[in-house]
Amino acid sequence: MTLADVLAGVIFLALNAYALLGGADFGGGVWDLLATGPRKERQRELIAEAIGPVWEANHVWLILALVLLFTCFPPAFARLGTLLHIPLSLVLIGIVLRGSAFTFWRYGGGGHGDQEQRHWGVVFAVASLITPLLLGTTVGAIASGALAGRGAGTGDAFYATYVAPWLNPFALSVGAFALVAFAFLAAVYLTMEGEEPELREDFRWRALASGVALFGVALSALLLSPAAVRGALVFASWAVPLHLLTGAAAVTALAALWYRRWRLARAAAAVQVSLILWGWALSQRPYILPPDLTVAAAAGPPATLRLVLAALVLGAVVLLPSLYYLFRVFKAGNRVSLE
């Protein structure tokens, strides 16, 4: 394993952390939009209370991944930023709009029931729905290998170069998968956030429903995937053990929810989503952007990689204890953060 492989692994670890922590924030926004029943306002209050103390900190993982990609693998960053500039720009707008709307909604005064406050709540919820859909669509475009041989000088039209790679059934199915996965994580986490038994039951049923739906969208994405992707996910030496572990985690999560074992459900759901993400990483190894740009070919100079690794070690000494302290202060006791 080379230094470039190590740093590529760190990037993926950061994306994994962002999916489990920031992703559930997006899922919380989805459930805010879909809040129903006699306790819908209390459901929204619970979502906001869970997200409020930590939502800004959760974006540190996405920032870390982008900075490492830009610094250590500039050709990959350039290709992504060029060919996927439309969905990535919309993702950035969605993240900014969502954060601003949340701030105005929760801290702008006037109370939760105020008309203007609810307007910002709707903006927050809609942005929480669209942003993960676009993030997943971007992942689908990368995994499909549609970014190879495109760009300036190829003679391709604008649509074929900048739209077709991500606006297609497979990429959109991956976007739908990301949205459902984030909603599933959020619902599972919220079963431990709620102190009222009725609220726990509300999110328990949402978690069970989204957990079952997650299987459906995962199967759809697999059936719509290109032959090369499907072959790697089905016939690779690691595929069967990984799918068995993922299936075991999924069954454990659903069974734990059914029997109201909240902590076990949270852990199993996190493992399930993480294993799915690592399946994506393994399916395209050794490429950082399949089918032609490998990790080694995209890596920067060795001196740069060594300096970045040293900076990561020093930064971790500050970052990790700080994040632990943040969650310890705001998520103490039996409550679990909507990370």
Element housing 62 (H / E): helix 60-72
Q: Identify the residue with better confidence: 153 or 104.
A: 104
Whether 334 has a pLDDT exceeding 70, the answer reads: no
Mean pLDDT value of segment 287-299: 93
Whether 265 has a pLDDT exceeding 70, the answer reads: yes
Assign 52 a pLDDT band (cuts: 50, 70, 90). Answer: confident
At the fourth CATH level, which superfamily is domain 3-330?
A: Formate dehydrogenase/DMSO reductase domain (1.20.1630.10)
Per the CB < 8 A criterion, the answer to whether 196 and 189 are in contact is no
> 108-126 pLDDT, tens per residue?
654 445 677 778 888 888 9
Mean pLDDT value of segment 231-249: 90
Whether 213 has a pLDDT exceeding 80, the answer reads: yes
Assign 339 a pLDDT band (cuts: 50, 70, 90). Answer: very low
Residue 51 corresponds to which tokens in the numbers above?
Answer: 């997200």
Which one-letter DSSP state was computed for residue 288? Answer: E
Q: Quick one: pLDDT at residue 111?
A: 46
Q: Identify the residue with better confidence: 128 or 334.
A: 128
CA distance 182 to 133: 10
Lowest mean pLDDT among 54-58, 167-171, 244-248, 304-308: 54-58
Whether 336 has a pLDDT exceeding 50, the answer reads: no
Whether 207 has a pLDDT exceeding 60, the answer reads: yes
Q: Quick one: pLDDT at residue 55?
A: 76
Mean pLDDT of the chain: 88
pTM score, whole prediction: 0.91
CA distance 187 to 211: 9
> 72-97 pLDDT, tens per residue?
999 999 999 999 999 999 999 999 99
Assign 192 a pLDDT band (cuts: 50, 70, 90). Answer: confident
Q: Quick one: pLDDT at residue 148?
A: 81
CA distance 338 to 48: 10
Domain definitions of the chain by residue range: 3-330
Nearest to 19 by CA among 155, 126, 147, 139: 139
Assign 313 a pLDDT band (cuts: 50, 70, 90). Answer: very high
Assign 337 a pLDDT band (cuts: 50, 70, 90). Answer: very low
Assign 275 a pLDDT band (cuts: 50, 70, 90). Answer: very high
CA distance 238 to 21: 27
Mean pLDDT value of segment 48-60: 82
Backbone angles phi, psi at 294, to 5 degrees: -80, 165
Assign 168 a pLDDT band (cuts: 50, 70, 90). Answer: very high
